[in-house]
Amino acid sequence: MDKLILQEKYGHILDENLLGEILQIGRFKTYKKNDIIIDIGQPLKFIPLLISGNIKILREDNEGNELLIYFLEAGETCTMSLTCCMGTTKSKIRAVAEKDSSLVMIPVQNMLQWFHNNRSWRTFILESYQERFDEMLDTIDNIAFMKMDERLNKYLVEKTKLHGSKTINVKHQDIAEDLHTSRVVISRLLKQLENEEKIKLSRNKIVVL
């Protein structure tokens, strides 16, 4: 079953021999929604390959406020953790399960070895860096140039794509933390979007129309 899942999610880019090695040395782990997978300051000895579910990657300021950087979907890895692994530094991000998720954890030494001697792995890592870099630039642009109501609307649309549903189960406080603002601001903007008939609100649930 693990082999079939790996082939489904990573077979389009990783070669057969490498998939076999991942099955031998990888540690398969599962996480419940809101579980912390990687925390800030944590030494990184493994990198995650996401098999199912979604993960949100967060940064934290000196006062403990979190800012959403990007989401990971099945078939992806966190390049910010890769950077920490390569530099043998502690994690600078927090990775939290957006919903129940399963991963395979790859030891750092194998990751580095494959980067030098396996073309498919090297391509996967470099493409992952490019995708995450583009997403971080997008996050910076959102903060610098978009109004909060525009950021909120984009956030909700991204959530529907991640979960494959127009209905999002989320608290106003959770949205506020992801967008680095207050719950009062989010509640007001959500009500505004509802009045514009772009969403429908109910308790801890938002339907994007």
CATH number for the region 146-208 comes to 1.10.10.10
Average pLDDT on 6-29 reads: 90
What is the side-by-side order of every strand in the sheet holding 199-202?
167-168, 205-208, 199-202
pLDDT score recorded for residue 44: 84
Domain ranges of the chain: 2-144, 146-208
Structure tokens at 122: 């090297």
pLDDT score recorded for residue 144: 78
Handedness of CA 79, 49, 115, 94 (dihedral sign): positive
Homologous superfamily in CATH for domain 2-144: Jelly Rolls (2.60.120.10)
pLDDT score recorded for residue 152: 93
| 91-118: pLDDT as tens digits | 888 999 999 999 999 998 898 899 999 9
| 133-166: pLDDT as tens digits | 888 888 888 887 888 988 999 999 999 998 889 9
pLDDT score recorded for residue 2: 62
- The answer on pLDDT for 1 being more than 60 is no
Half-sphere exposure of 70 (CA within 13 A, CB side): 20
Q: In 3-state terms, what secondary structure has residue 42? A: coil
| 50-94: pLDDT as tens digits | 999 999 999 888 888 888 888 999 999 987 777 766 666 788 889
Inter-CA distances, 37 with 6, 16, 51, 96, 99, Å: 20, 27, 14, 6, 12
